[in-house]
A and B are shown apart, each in its own frame.
Chain A
């Protein structure tokens, strides 16, 4: 068991609460820094995807996990960022400037979607974001002079000054820097009064309002920040995949992103990363598992969807806090050994009440 003795007020402010944090996160950092030399190139590319999706996941986590607003059209923000980046880089705008613009444009889109969000909630908000997602997808397909329409759009390598990041390794480091920066930004945001306001809105709008939190402002802000992160993620995605077409940003992608944060664990920063790992590793695992299944099942087209669905159902039923929740339980078991009780993480059941009365 670990006891933290507080001898200094600054201890409360520190990001790493104890030696264990310092040790394990240093180890993780060391691994990520040396990964290009340790990990085979294929897996390095997958790791890059994990980092990109984690950035997007952080954004969605901020919105869904910490502000309690569920977006069914997050792929649209991803798409806005990706296309902004692609068009600007192809036009010769330097990479950092294009990245900022990608985030900015997505944030503007987020504010536009946030506007109806001020009046509606729950499932209606889901519908509004869903509708927005469809409109943006169709817009990307039809605005052919800019986006190339359904024929797609090629994206060049990112370049900072005269330095072109055209190798897997250099692009990996770029993604790593962005992902670490985004994580630190979100972690610090959540410790600030803004982040606390988000969480208050998630837990109860009425009580947040009566504590003097301006609902409209904070909800719009949450949408804007979330969309900006999705846009930055989209910009990196555009460079990684190097070919954009509208169907990459369809409702399927939106649901995948939602699946990512739910399976990762709603309401935790770790969840965004764990969810991203899940989203990237799962298809590989399915591909590996196919060889062990009879051909009639292993070769069928619907296998991936079925497995995804079953995993999602299993998580909602048995582990609503996602992968992070499972880790939390394992950690607590070790921390409290041998005093772990089975009911320690028992879910509080509540009787459902109407949302229509607000």
Chain B
């Protein structure tokens, strides 16, 4: 029974990592760069949800979609402002740029007087409810995270697999020039991707809010989502979820069975092993270029 309880708490935690990793994978799949600002976008998403509820007084069911849409617009705006001018530069420039964007977002939120340095609780209608199954205890927050992650993952997977837009995104990431020739508006696609990624980040932030509370440094959990994305294979959406689950479960078990301290580094040990043994991840594509 204890084993099962550990497993469930690991799965719930893993779903959060998977949810954040979805944002990484989305950006990687569509533009082949890694966004280090994803965690901070998530934080801004949570704060915007909070603002919509407490400042504007929106009810929960309007506040959440409006925060998600607002973040989507913000993401697209961010792309237009800083990412598009360096389109065509080495991918590493964009990585550095997103680190800078992350710094600025975190700094700006911290600078808001009386709000930025505090820890807030988000009033969620399902907060505090608990489901009991026999001897198992599952918090409603965790159930919502698991459910939302599954839906989001399925939706994005279907988009990349079946919709014209998703396939255009993948084409743009694999070869920009060829994508242009095929009539794909690469710039607009990029803007759309960053908007979508910011929306996914907002969803993650809102779901995470009742569990970790809302504060300016909550974006650092994004650093644990990197291992999730790597374990699953950076370019694979189901991989992100599976990777997140693996990381979550490893973390919860090592926290219980191994000496203190291993809980925090277990994900990174898994990642190092993964990179040595199977660098493309569990679901990574095996592609070879013919010279």
Contact = CB atoms under 8 A, between A and B. Distances in A.
Interface of A: 70, 115-116, 119-120, 122-124, 126-128, 130-132, 134-135, 138-139, 141-142, 206, 251, 255, 258-259, 262, 296-297, 300-313, 316-317, 320, 347, 349-358
Contact of A309 (B28, B103, B173): B103
A300 B111 contact: yes
Interface string B32-72: 10100000000000000000000000000000000000000
A315 B235 CA distance: 29
Contacts of B97: 312-313, 316-317
A255 B98 CA distance: 12
Interface string B58-90: 000000000000000000000000100111110
B118 to A, nearest CB: 11
B255 interface: no
A352 B268 contact: no
Contact of B264 (A128, A138, A258, A296): A138
A351 B177 contact: yes
Nearest to B216: A302
**Residue from A124, A135, A259, A297 with most neighbouring chain B CB atoms (10 Å):** A124
Contacts of B93: 316, 320
Nearest to A137: B265
B264 A309 contact: no
A351 B269 contact: no
Contact of A124 (B87, B101, B279): B279
8 contacts: A127-B226, A131-B227, A131-B275, A134-B268, A300-B116, A313-B104, A317-B82, A353-B174
Contacts of A119: 275-276, 279
Contacts of B177: 351, 353
Interface stretch (B1-9, B133-141, B144-152, B281-289): B281-289
A357 B289 contact: yes
Contacts of A131: 227, 267-269, 271-272, 275
Contacts of B174: 353-354, 356-357
A313 to B, nearest CB: 4
Contacts of A206: 291
B101 A138 contact: no
Contacts of B176: 351-353
Nearest to B173: A354
Contacts of B275: 116, 119-120, 124, 127-128, 131
Given A116-B275, A138-B261, A316-B100, A350 B88 contact: yes
A355 B32 contact: yes
Contacts of A296: 113
Given A300-B110, A316-B96, A306 B103 contact: yes
B291 A123 contact: no
Q: B-side binding surface: helix, strand, loop or mixed? A: helix
Interface in B157-187: 173-177, 180
Question: How many interface residues does chain B have, given as a range?
Answer: 35 or more
B184 to A, nearest CB: 12
Contact of B113 (A70, A300, A353): A300
Nearest to B261: A142
B271 A313 contact: no
A149 to B, nearest CB: 10
Contact of B96 (A130, A262, A349): A262
Given A116-B275, A135-B268, A313 B100 contact: yes
B154 interface: no
Interface in B244-291: 260-261, 264-265, 267-269, 271-272, 275-276, 279, 285, 287-289, 291
A311 B103 CA distance: 10
A122 B109 CA distance: 31
B85 A317 contact: yes
Interface string B1-34: 0000000000000000000000000001001101
Interface string B209-251: 0000000100000010011001000110000000000000000
Nearest to A119: B279
B271 A305 contact: no
B289 A358 contact: yes
State the 4 A-B residue pairs at the shortest beta-carbon distance, nearest first: A309-B103, A302-B110, A306-B107, A305-B107
A115 B272 CA distance: 10
Nearest to B220: A251
Contact of A297 (B111, B234, B291): B111
**Residue from A139, A255, A306, A350 with most neighbouring chain B CB atoms (10 Å):** A306
Contact of A302 (B32, B116, B180, B265): B116
Given A305-B107, A310-B104, A350-B88, A135 B113 contact: no
B29 to A, nearest CB: 10
Given A70-B95, A302-B107, A358-B288, 13 more contacts: A70-B92, A119-B275, A124-B279, A127-B227, A127-B271, A127-B275, A297-B111, A301-B110, A303-B111, A308-B103, A317-B85, A320-B93, A356-B287
Contacts of A355: 32, 91
A317 B84 CA distance: 10
A113 to B, nearest CB: 9
Given A123-B95, A353-B176, A128 B272 contact: yes
B116 to A, nearest CB: 6
B156 interface: no
B189 interface: no
Contacts of A356: 32, 174, 235, 285, 287
Contacts of A138: 261, 264-265
Contacts of A320: 86, 89, 93
B107 A303 contact: yes
